[in-house]
Structure 1
């Protein structure tokens, strides 16, 4: 990936982060107990996970991804929405400091002692927050309509995520893939590839 394509990837990742943070900002205290498409997680738990991941990726971009504790979820925040919005701003700022697409980032949650080029790491983050943006939106009963460019980039990453038995392992980031509906668009295809039911509602 050349620097122009990497800049485009960073821009699209920032868009996914803004979208997911925008939905999170709509959540009031009474919404935090709402169910989410993530089995067993209410919105408070999902926001805590998203916040921790932002902090971990930000630390990785700054050369500290392998340090103990940088990926850990902090004790429940008194204001999880504000906590999340701060972390969202920080990870975007940290990615903007990356030297280029080949800078190595430590992502121990994906591979123990694994080093990933920045282009791949940002792609992981992008698809994660495209999907988590949808998670938060659906939890709140909102629709999510990302731009075509972001959807194209997210689907490309989702198609590259390993499938099969690895999805059944404890701690796997994604469930086994589902079959998308005939004629499904790129968002629904991405969700199904990563084990989400595109038709999920709180009533499910």
Structure 2
């Protein structure tokens, strides 16, 4: 399993999905209850930059991980950060390095293959978040979904998922005969059938 190839596939798919956003979509709700689409993309962009910093040995600086300022062109900002992290992961020798990821632990570092696995899983799930906010479905092959499920089932499902800073919600019971991507989502507390809540109708003016 080439984790860098899998990660690249997930990241490029997230960018393809985001290319379909229109100016009217940035305030749309997402499966991440605390974030609208613009806030989610600011987080995703910042995480790309944080992982790129970690690949360069600068991950311990928490400021590298903050949500990004997206400016007037959020898609352009996101694509630039995606290119940055993919280039960082592709550098020769990166797989022999250790990544500092202070949002997960300040007491230890992580082998590059493990850290890139974190990134891969995050962008499979966040790519789906963006897709659902836009009312579309992601295009991920079976190999990507199956690899993501391996990583998802390794995420501890304990009290650490209950706090306000938890990365994932407690797991859900998947429906019978759920597809592989739906199993990933349920394992990480996402509702696979999530759709944006209906906007209340505006009362007629008299």
2:13–2:139 Cα contact (<8 Å) kept: no
**Structure 1: how far apart are the matches of 2:172 and 2:11?**
25
CA gap of 1:119–1:179, structure 2 versus 1, over 3 A, is same
2:17–2:138 Cα contact (<8 Å) kept: no
Of the three residues 15, 26, 49, the one matched with 1:21 is 15
State the TM-score, normalizing by the size of structure 1: 0.93
Partner residue in 2 for 1:39: 33
**Structure 2: how far apart are the matches of 1:77 and 1:160?**
36
| Structure 2 portions without partners, runs of 5+ | 199-206
Equivalent residues in 2 for 1:112-123 (5 A)? 112-123=106-117
Partner residue in 2 for 1:104: 98
Q: CA deviation at 1:101?
A: 3.5
Deviations 1:65-118 (A, max 9, x none): 012410112345222221111101111000001515342000001111430000
2:70–2:77 Cα contact (<8 Å) kept: no
**Structure 2: how far apart are the matches of 1:170 and 1:140?**
26
Q: CA deviation at 1:182?
A: 0.9
Aligned length: 198
**Structure 2: how far apart are the matches of 1:157 and 1:90?**
23
> 3-state DSSP class of the match of 2:63?
coil
State the TM-score, normalizing by the size of structure 2: 0.92
Deviations 1:136-193 (A, max 9, x none): 1111111123101111110000000011111112311111111111111110000011
1:174–1:195 Cα contact (<8 Å) kept: yes
Partner residue in 2 for 1:128: 122
Of stretches 194-203 and 64-73 in structure 1, the one that deviates more from structure 2 is 64-73
Partner residue in 2 for 1:72: 66
2:99–2:109 Cα contact (<8 Å) kept: yes
Of the three residues 179, 190, 197, the one matched with 1:196 is 190
- Structure label with greater radius of gyration: 2
Of stretches 140-149 and 190-199 in structure 1, the one that deviates more from structure 2 is 140-149
Deviations 1:18-59 (A, max 9, x none): 000111111121110111110031100000000000000010
User: Aligned-residue CA RMSD in angstroms?
Assistant: 1.4
**Structure 2: how far apart are the matches of 1:20 and 1:188?**
17
> 3-state DSSP class of the match of 1:101?
helix
